[in-house]
Amino acid sequence: MTELKSTVAPYEGQSVCLFCASSDGNDPVYLEAGREFGRRTAEEGWRLVYGGGGVGLMGAAARASHAIGGRVVGIMPGFLRSRERLFDEVETVVVESMHQRKQMMYDESDVFVVAPGGIGTLEEVVELLSWKRLDLHAKPVIFLNINGFWDSFFKLVEDTVNAGMTPASFLEAYTVADSVEDAIAQMTSAEDTPHIRHDPRGAATN
């Protein structure tokens, strides 16, 4: 068992943050995608940053990465320690709040991959994309769209664009991968996206 900490150990390599479910889902393809992503991340030499749980897709990814020697860091708020069962065989950081967890995950990562998940995953990625609209970060965001899982979300974003509530440039704020291999390929070739001014409300007019 690894000693629990409140800060992340320094790391010089590249890191990918995985947002995903803390449940297995009712289709085994999702859990298998979590395992494959964790394994492939380790094979590519990337550190996996995730929510710290030992269950669901997040647990499957962390265990698969750790099993072949991958570097993994889990970040978990203290009140969820019993609910999501810490996988404390890897570096594990316990924080005070959900906001602190997300901030630390964002700060420690170079790229974000969003796998299938529930309302918690949706909340995490909406905040991540909101920050991107406000040009608070330019890090790549890749949706792992297994079996079209995120299609309805993409449709909702497009509807907000068509209704004039979101600028069309925001559709460039993320990319979509239909398989783990595609997500890994995008992750390893990704560069920070340009600040394309998703939020033009303060722009001067003539």
Q: What is the pLDDT of residues 178-191, one digit of tens each?
A: 999 999 999 999 87
* Tens of pLDDT, residues 116-153: 999 999 999 999 999 999 988 999 999 999 999 999 99
Give the right CATH number for 15-189 from 3.30.43.10, 2.60.40.10, 3.60.21.10, 3.40.50.450: 3.40.50.450
Q: CB-based contacts of 202: which residues, under 8 Å, 6+ apart?
A: none
Name which of 35-39, 58-62, 106-110, 200-204 the model is least confident about: 200-204
pLDDT at residue 195 in the model: 52
d(CA 177, CA 184): 9
Amino acid residing at 65: S
* Tens of pLDDT, residues 22-32: 999 999 999 99
- Domain segments of the chain: what residues? 15-189
User: Which position has the token pair 């001014």?
Assistant: 197
Burial 47-85 (b: 16+ CB within 10 A, else e): bbbbbbbbbbbbbbbbbbbbeeebbbbbbbbeebbeebb
